[in-house]
Every structure is written in structure tokens, then in C-alpha cells.
Amino acid sequence: MAGCARNMPETWKFMTDNGLKLDEPEPFGHYLGVGQSPIKMDQNEVNKRMANIRPLLEAPDAKDAAETDDDTDAEDLGGTAYALPSHHSSPSGIRAIRYDMSSFFQQTVEKYCELASVKESSLSSRAFKFPGIDDHQLDETGFENKGNLADIASKILMKALYGARCMRWDLLHPICPLAREVTKWNRNCGLRLHKLMCYIKQSVK
């Protein structure tokens, strides 16, 4: 529900008086893997963070979003996003809600390591600028051979996709093409998934 703050008590009372049953209010905390906390940000900080994600938000399609990732610092994206209601600005700062999914993405990496039977230390610490791999960089025979992660790929991808849709829009382009391959998973899909996990690991703060 949104609107003027002074109207909220009357609106809630109207709904509860007419049969709406609500749980007791809970303080900010973790909900569905997302940490939530109220913060205040000055305008300079808002401008800096928006500059990091604006290329992704303004890209006309997913392909362009992937290409603009070269100009976006993955560490600034990490697992954190901000809801920035500009109409709530004041001389003391802008009230915002900080959504933190760093722990969720770390769990995603750990789930991959568990299901794929690989050690987390084997994931590259190289600071990749792009989480995908182009076809011309892969061995053609890899498209013909079934991948050894065919049975568990969907579990990993769907977990990663939840976080990507919440706040890591840079991950949508590499995840969605892989998700289309789960019924015909090949060796090159496994290589792409491995690089994706390396990218997520090094970009989480």
C-alpha cells in the first residue's frame, strides 16, 4: 500500500474492520533471502550508485545489457540494491531501503559446489567483466556431448535466477540462455555455468 503517511492508520483500520486479518508487524530483516534495512543516503551517493546500474536499466534489450557490463563494475553491483524514493529526500539525506542478497549469492555458489562436486577454491578469482562465454570461444564438439551436470543444472540456475530478477540484472543474460538448455544440456553449458559461478563469487561483497 502506498500513499500519504497520515492516511495510513485510517486505511489500515478500515481494512481490518472489514475482515482483513494481518500478522503482527515485523521489524526489517531477512525475507525470502533478502536482507532489508532502512538507511539514509546523500544525493552524491545516490547519483554514484545509479550511474553504475543505469547502462543496464536503459539498454534496449538483453544483448545490449550484456555488452554494457564491460563498463559496469561488478563489485559495485555485488548482491545489494537500493529502493530510492526521490520524493522522500530531505536536507538530512534520502530515505531508502537497502536490499542485501550477498549471503544469498554466496549460498548459490555453495549450492553449485555441492551439487557439482567441486571445491569452492577451484572457482577462479579473476575479476571477469562479463559472466558469459561466446560460442566462438568454445570447442564445437562440446555442443554435441551431454554435460555431466544435466540432472542438477536447473536447481542451480533457478536459484541464481531468483537473485538475478531481484537485483542482479547483469546475470539475466547469461542465466536465461542456459535455462533454455536444461533439457539438452551439453558440455559447453557446463563450462558456461562454471564461469557464471566464478563471476558471481568474485562479485559478491
Exposure b/e, 26-49, CB count within 10 A at least 16 = b: eeeeeeebbbeeeeebeeeebeeb
DSSP character at residue 156: H
Considering the chain, what percentage of its residues have pLDDT values greater than 90? Answer: 27
When pLDDT is cut at 50, 70 and 90, the band that residue 70 belongs to is very low
Residue 74, all three cell numbers: 561488478
Between the two ends of the chain, the Cα-to-Cα distance in Å is 32
Give 28 or 12, the one with higher predicted confidence: 12
The residue ranges of every structural domain in the chain are 28-100, 103-203
What was the pLDDT predicted at 71?
Answer: 40
Among 37, 17, 20, 19, which residue's Cα sits nearest to residue 28?
37
What was the pLDDT predicted at 139?
Answer: 85
Distance CA 93, CA 40 (A): 6
What was the pLDDT predicted at 166?
Answer: 84
Beta strands in 1-150 (DSSP E): 30-31, 34-41, 80-83, 89-90, 93-100
The amino acid present at 45, given as its one-letter code, is E
Among 192, 86, 70, which residue's Cα sits nearest to residue 129?
70
- Residue 18: strand, helix, or coil: coil
Beta strands in 60-164 (DSSP E): 80-83, 89-90, 93-100
Give 196 or 39, the one with higher predicted confidence: 196
Residue 45, all three cell numbers: 551517493
pLDDT digits (tens, 9 = 90+) for 110-165: 999 999 999 998 888 777 777 778 778 888 888 888 988 999 999 999 999 999 99
Give 116 or 92, the one with higher predicted confidence: 116
